[in-house]
């Protein structure tokens, strides 16, 4: 059956159509047909197939999980979660059900699964292929576990992929270096908010910029910006992974830069086929790819200290300041909405966490609600775009003795509207295992101090990296107790908080975090060192500037 699904989707459907006619009582054919339709975004037809399969096998956990997957792709998160819960009850060892149950539950701040969290983590760690690597990041701060799972996933991938390491190219000594950027996020996405200006700022005397966009052609302003800035822009969403790697080799790419990692829509097999002599993971996924054919990972001394390098399959390219690029041309808003317009009390102290909800766990929420008890004239401002999420958060707050009048919800808005509203917060409190990333630099750009607890894995050290680069290391803590105590001090000592805000405002233009020009120059120097090392016949190694 699996061999059928591996064929082209159209061919697979033809074969499965024959199979379901000949063996209408075989649930597996209906399920596989639904999976193929799902990959073609034929959601309703896929659900029909899954319904037939479930009628034939009502206790099949995998079919229930498939129905959940279809509903999730249709943006029916609550319904999807119910099917994942049912699948998990039937088969607690089914990783795809457990992984998606975690994700859909965290998306709604439904923390019921935490009563069985240790077993859930054990299940998620047991299978390297099924389930999203991202779903473990918020649950556990364990870089060794991440690498172990992803390295095994890569080992299985390499059984079906043969890396082509033969490149027809001249050494870069007397020519421009060809950089290839690969992603499906060249639109109004967090990656573009950070990286957007970099394509135009590359030194064209030293570098030639290729963009391989395997996302849909949206025609949006961000996509047009990249089209205009790239020396060569290629829309490649119809190419296979092997075909895309072959195209990059034909283009003579020296360094292939993957901007996705293990995030939705990635094309990591492209790099297993080898798109370039040097391959670099950057920005998309906050952790190792686990891939032997991914040579380098871009970081900095804070996000990956030397004792954490062992948890990366890649060698580290060390930026001298933060690994995170920022766009210093984005405007500060001319008009800031009033607190009343945002639903915030005028005189209250406003704690906020505008992280995506799936980063927030009971561990942070316990501290936040404790702070509301200790600072009576305060509220907590949370990103909560839908009603189920809001209801769950209010329920969790009430369980900790906090009434609904102390919780204020923010919806999703455009990037410009988000930057405009941020200054109305007094203090941003970070998530633990998976920090604020783009959201952190947006808060600081808006003049809002951010308190973080620095962990071990890369995802838990990003905000510390950003704070260090903007000269606010005193906002970094290392324990839950210190995180709480610092937040409480700043909420109760307005003079101390105002001093930090004033320092932050001055540092925006004088520290490295928002110095886009210097960042691009340093990034280019690292890329040059990496390809020169390859041309010298040397293996990848950890590289720093200077």
Burial bucket for residue 467 (CB in 10 Å: 0-12, 13-18, 19+):
buried
Give the whole-angstrom CA distance, residue 462 versus residue 468: 10
Helix axes 61-73, 43-56, angle to 10 degrees: 160
Q: Report pLDDT for 7.
A: 43
- Contact assessment for residue 242 and residue 273, using Cβ atoms and an 8 Å cutoff: yes
Question: Strand order of the sheet with strand 543-544?
Answer: 232-235, 207-213, 177-183, 255-258, 278-281, 296-299, 315-318, 543-544
State the pLDDT at residue 4. 40
Regions in the chain scoring below 70 on pLDDT: 1-7
Domains and CATH numbers, the chain: 2-138 (1.25.40.10), 172-328+518-544 (3.40.50.11380), 339-511 (3.40.50.2000)
What confidence score (pLDDT) does residue 3 get?
40
**Own/partner pairs, 501-507, CB within 8 angstroms, 24+ separation:** 501/447, 501/448, 501/449, 503/471, 503/472, 504/444, 504/447, 504/449, 504/470, 504/472, 505/447, 507/470, 507/471, 507/472
pLDDT above 90 as % of the chain? 90
Q: Give pTM, 2 decimals.
A: 0.95
pLDDT of residue 2: 40
Per-position DSSP letters for 228-240, written without gaps between them: HH-SEEEE-TTS-
Percentage helix, strand, coil, to 5, in the chain? 50, 10, 40
Q: Which among 524, 521, 523, 526 has a CA at the least distance from the CA of 543?
A: 526
pLDDT score for 132: 87
Sign of the dihedral defined by the CA atoms of residues 100, 106, 109, 114, in that order: positive
Q: Supply the pLDDT for residue 379.
A: 98
* Residues sharing a CB contact under 8 Å with residue 375, sequence separation 6 or more, in sequence order: 349, 351, 488, 491, 492
Which strands sit side by side in the sheet containing 349-353, from one edge to the other?
407-410, 378-383, 349-353, 427-429, 450-453, 476-477
SS3 (DSSP) at 499: helix
Show the tokens assigned to 305.
Answer: 């200290």
Q: Torsion over CA of 232, 236, 239 and 240, rounded to 10 degrees?
A: 100
**What are the angstrom distances between the C-alpha of 302 and each of 16, 134, 143, 287?**
52, 21, 15, 14
Query: How far apart, in whole angstroms, are the C-alpha atoms of residue 263 and residue 171?
Result: 33
For 135, the enclosing helix (H) or strand (E) is: helix 134-137
């Amino acid at each position: 059956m699996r061999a059928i699904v591996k064929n082209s989707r159209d061919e697979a459907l033809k074969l499965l159509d024959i199979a379901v006619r000949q063996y209408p009582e075989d649930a597996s054919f209906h399920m596989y047909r639904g999976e193929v339709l799902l990959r073609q975004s034929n959601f309703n037809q896929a659900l029909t197939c899954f319904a037939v399969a479930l009628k034939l096998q009502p206790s099949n956990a995998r079919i229930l999980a498939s129905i959940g997957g279809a509903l999730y792709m249709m943006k029916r998160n609550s319904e999807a979660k119910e099917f994942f819960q049912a699948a998990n009850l039937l088969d607690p060892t089914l990783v795809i059900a457990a992984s998606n149950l975690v994700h859909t539950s965290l998306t709604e701040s439904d923390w019921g699964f935490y009563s069985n969290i240790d077993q859930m983590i054990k299940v998620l760690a047991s299978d390297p292929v099924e389930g999203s690597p991202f779903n473990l990041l918020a649950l556990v701060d364990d870089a060794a576990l991440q690498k172990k799972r992803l390295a095994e996933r890569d080992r299985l991938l390499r059984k079906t992929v043969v890396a082509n390491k033969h490149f027809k190219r001249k050494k870069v000594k007397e020519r421009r270096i060809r950089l290839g950027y690969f992603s499906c996020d060249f639109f109004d996405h967090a990656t573009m908010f950070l990286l957007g200006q970099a394509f135009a700022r590359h030194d064209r005397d030293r570098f030639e910029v290729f963009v391989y966009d395997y996302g849909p052609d949206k025609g949006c302003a961000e996509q047009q910006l990249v089209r205009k800035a790239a020396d060569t822009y290629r829309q490649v969403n119809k190419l296979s992974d092997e075909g895309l790697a072959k195209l990059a080799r034909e283009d003579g790419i020296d360094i292939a830069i993957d901007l996705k990692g293990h995030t939705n829509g990635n094309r990591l097999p492209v790099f297993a086929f080898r798109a370039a002599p040097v391959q670099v993971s950057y920005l998309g996924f906050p952790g190792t790819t686990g891939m032997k054919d991914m040579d380098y990972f871009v970081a900095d001394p804070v996000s990956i200290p030397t004792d954490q390098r062992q948890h990366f399959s890649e060698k580290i390219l060390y930026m001298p300041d933060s690994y995170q690029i920022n766009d210093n041309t984005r405007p500060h808003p001319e008009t800031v909405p009033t607190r009343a317009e945002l639903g915030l009390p005028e005189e209250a102290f406003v704690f906020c966490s505008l992280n995506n909800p799936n980063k927030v766990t009971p561990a942070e929420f316990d501290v936040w609600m404790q702070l509301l008890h200790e600072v009576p004239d305060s509220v907590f401002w949370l990103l909560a775009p839908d009603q189920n999420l809001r209801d769950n958060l209010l329920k969790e707050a009430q369980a900790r003795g906090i009434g609904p009048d102390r919780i204020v919800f923010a919806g999703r808005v455009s990037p410009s509207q988000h930057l405009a509203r941020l200054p109305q917060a007094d203090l941003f409190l970070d998530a633990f295992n998976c920090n604020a990333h783009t959201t952190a630099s947006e808060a600081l750009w808006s003049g809002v101090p951010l308190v973080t607890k620095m962990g071990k894995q890369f995802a838990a050290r990003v905000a510390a990296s950003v704070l260090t680069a903007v000269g606010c290391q005193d906002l970094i803590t290392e324990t839950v107790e210190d995180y709480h105590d610092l937040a409480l001090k700043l909420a109760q000592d307005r003079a101390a908080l105002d001093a930090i805000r004033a320092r932050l405002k001055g540092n925006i233009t004088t520290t490295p975090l928002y110095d886009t020009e210097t960042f691009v120059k340093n990034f280019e120097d690292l890329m040059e060192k990496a390809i020169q090392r390859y041309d010298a016949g040397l293996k990848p190694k950890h590289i720093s500037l200077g």
